[in-house]
Structure 1
Amino acid sequence: MSFSFFRVLRPKTPQEVAKSIKDSLMALDTKTVVEVKALEKALEEVEKNFATMKCMLCGDGEAEPNVDQVSQLAVEICKEDVLALLIHKLSILGWEARKDLVHCWSILLRQKVDSTYCCVEYIENHFELLDFLVVCYDNKEIALNCGNMLRNCIKFPTLAKYILESASFELFFKFVELPNFDVASDAFSTFKDLLTRHGKVVSEFLTAHYDEFFDLYEKLLTSSSYVTRRQSLKLLSEFLLEPPNSQIMKRYIIEVRFLKVMMTLLRDSSKNIQISAFHIFKVFVANPNKPREIKVILAKNHERLLELLHNLSGGKVAEDEQFEEEKELIIKEIQRVSQS
């Protein structure tokens, strides 16, 4: 009598896991999956393989993951071109498989082998994968998954730099205004990470693409959507006032058209937008090297500006005192400019 069917299955090696994932993803090819039942079976196989990958990367709840196996799996996934397949097949996958993939993605990117992030290096050699992820914001089924994967990529300066300088970056100005609120909010989170996470990279990008970038950004600040105006104004304060962007800010605050945008936002029906606009407007006014054109605009509109500022209050008690002091200084400076 044989009891071989009681034998415990040998756990798969990282090489076998990577190969299984690759084979099951390849089987999703529409040329080979003709029938609905065949597709369902192929998707089940992918889901099973993803669960195995997740278990190897995260542990099974009882045992911690084996560090060497985790590193080896990352290496094998790159070697077998699985990273590319994971991205390209994302839209076909079921909900559970996508959830597991997003979870595993962040762990794979963090794996260092011989002082190199092997999955990051793989993406550096296949930058088109980042463009593909950005474009996926147009597919609301997978937009949030792709957004999560993109933000994990943006943690690495080389990948953030590529997205900023790629043609696909311009798409974010459209995506942040998509009618689907969840997708638009997620796109804005990614957009914000791109502009705030790596100071030096952002500063170099803004220096090289100043005109194109701020032409597009002005459209966000003057959007008919309250959410877009408020978010983009708040974000502008965050990256414009960062020390690495000091030269960008000096350039921004001598441009009449941007002063006019801030003056318009000071008149916005939303108090939150008025206050955020004030924090950028004050930099135009406080600039000791104001060009003549800026002084002329301030002098010409001084009565309306003073009325707006007198009616503007900070709100929170702790911040209110500082806000009032700053406001007083700006009022005095506008009065001085209008009298000179």
Structure 2
Amino acid sequence: MSFSFFKPSKPKTPPELVKAIRESLLALDSKTVAEVKALEKALEEVEKNFLAMRQMLSGDGEVEPNMDQVSQLTLEICKEDIISLVIHKLPSLGWEARKGLVHCWCILLRQMVGPSHCCVEYLENHLELLDFLVVCYDNKEIALHCGIMLRECIKYPNLAKYILESTSFELFFKYVELPNFDVASDAFATFKQDLLTKHPTAVSEFLTSHYEEFFELYEKLLTSTNYVTRRQSLKLISEFLLESPNSHIMKRYIVEVRYLKVMMTLLKDSSKNIQISAFHIFKIFVANPNKPWEIILILAKNHEKLLDLLHNLSVGKGTEDEQFEEEKDLIIKEIDRISRLPNFVR
């Protein structure tokens, strides 16, 4: 008597698995998905195939992945346009399928097949897929998954450079203020930790060629009614202005009256944390030995209010407090000196 029907099905080869993934994703488009059962079956197939892909890429906990199979799977995924398909199908997938996809995505992008990252090259030839991932922040159901996928892409300079220079980059200024806190925080993580800090040279080139547009949009974040947005934006700008590749950007920024006024306003913020962060940028305007006349004029006209604010500003106790007080004293002396210049003596 034969019990062969109890035997587990034979594992698929990489080409067979890629074909199955493709067919199950395309089934989500068929007319029958209007029927609940048909849709559920299609989604189950996708989930099952993603699980098989995950096991082939990372093993099952007992058996290590076969690297020849991993390379073959990666090549087949690129050849059969699976990357494009899975990105466009993200909104249709269930939570488990999206979770499995994100896990596989991170492994696939790192795979070297021969001398190149096959999947990264695919994305370089299909850059519109990056725009699609950015826009997915508008869909709170898939926003966090897309955020992880985007940050994995941004690790590669060419992909990061494209996002910085694409029209979809401006959307981040909207996404960091979305009402959903988790989504807004994730968007800010992508914006800050990856896009504006991961590749300093590319960021410097971008800021140089898009200075006006970028800082005009950034001013809206600094003056946002949202406390978290103001605080995070202040912290970020103080970090990237002080990066050595951005020294020429900082020199340009600290001679502009409009941005000095923003920092002066933030020195009066109801939050002490924001006041302290604003001081660390404000001090650069004041300490600049090559202050333009317009900056000197603003500081002189507002010296009484500024000195009053600074005298009442402190960080607390400890070594940080000592350094802060030293810097504050220098800035107070400089503002006082400016107010006594012959032009301003009454």
TM-score, length-scaled by structure 2: 0.96
Cα distance in 2, alignment partners of residues 255 and 140 from structure 1: 38
Does the 8 Å CA contact 2:263/2:279 hold for their aligned counterparts?
yes
Cα distance in 1, alignment partners of residues 101 and 244 from structure 2: 37
After TM superposition, the structure 1 = structure 2 runs for residues 22-41 of structure 1, keeping only pairs within 5 Å, are 22-41=22-41
The aligned residue for residue 209 of structure 1 is: 210
How far did residue 283 of structure 1 move? 0.6
Cα distance in 1, alignment partners of residues 290 and 209 from structure 2: 24
How far did residue 115 of structure 1 move? 2.1
How far did residue 87 of structure 1 move? 0.5
Are positions 1:5 and 2:5 aligned together?
Answer: yes
Cα distance in 1, alignment partners of residues 331 and 66 from structure 2: 60
Cα distance in 1, alignment partners of residues 248 and 30 from structure 2: 52
The aligned residue for residue 49 of structure 1 is: 49
Moved more, 99-108 or 29-38: 29-38
Listed as ranges, the gaps of 5+ residues in structure 2 are 342-346
Are positions 1:133 and 2:136 aligned together?
Answer: no
The aligned residue for residue 267 of structure 2 is: 266
Cα distance in 1, alignment partners of residues 332 and 264 from structure 2: 14
After TM superposition, the structure 1 = structure 2 runs for residues 1-340 of structure 1, keeping only pairs within 5 Å, are 1-192=1-192, 193-315=194-316, 317-340=318-341
Q: List per-residue Cα deviations over 1:270-304 (Å, max 9, x = no partner).
A: 00000110111111111111101101111111111
How far did residue 321 of structure 1 move? 1.3
Listed as ranges, the gaps of 5+ residues in structure 1 are none
Paired residue secondary structure (2:224): coil
Q: List per-residue Cα deviations over 1:191-250 (Å, max 9, x = no partner).
A: 112111110010000000000110000011001111111111111111111111010000
Letter in 2 for 1:108: L
Cα distance in 2, alignment partners of residues 314 and 68 from structure 1: 58
Paired residue secondary structure (1:47): helix
Letter in 2 for 1:72: Q
Percent of aligned pairs sharing the same letter: 78
Moved more, 14-23 or 211-220: 14-23
Letter in 1 for 2:293: R
How far did residue 187 of structure 1 move? 0.8
Give the paired residue count: 340
Cα distance in 1, alignment partners of residues 67 and 320 from structure 2: 48
How far did residue 333 of structure 1 move? 1.1
Which aligned segments of 4 or more residues in structure 1 are displaced greater than 4 angstroms?
none
Moved more, 309-318 or 211-220: 309-318
Paired residue secondary structure (1:89): helix
How far did residue 70 of structure 1 move? 1.6
Cα distance in 1, alignment partners of residues 317 and 117 from structure 2: 45
Q: List per-residue Cα deviations over 1:34-81 (Å, max 9, x = no partner).
A: 311101000000000000011111110111212222222111111110
Cα distance in 1, alignment partners of residues 197 and 322 from structure 2: 28
Root-mean-square deviation (CA, aligned residues, Å) is 1.2
Paired residue secondary structure (1:196): coil
Letter in 2 for 1:155: K
Evaluate the alpha carbon distance shift between residue 266 and residue 63 of structure 1 in structure 2; reply closer, same or farther with a 3 A threshold: same
Letter in 2 for 1:189: A
Evaluate the alpha carbon distance shift between residue 30 and residue 140 of structure 1 in structure 2; reply closer, same or farther with a 3 A threshold: farther
Cα distance in 1, alignment partners of residues 181 and 251 from structure 2: 34
How far did residue 30 of structure 1 move? 4.6
Cα distance in 1, alignment partners of residues 215 and 147 from structure 2: 24
Letter in 2 for 1:50: F
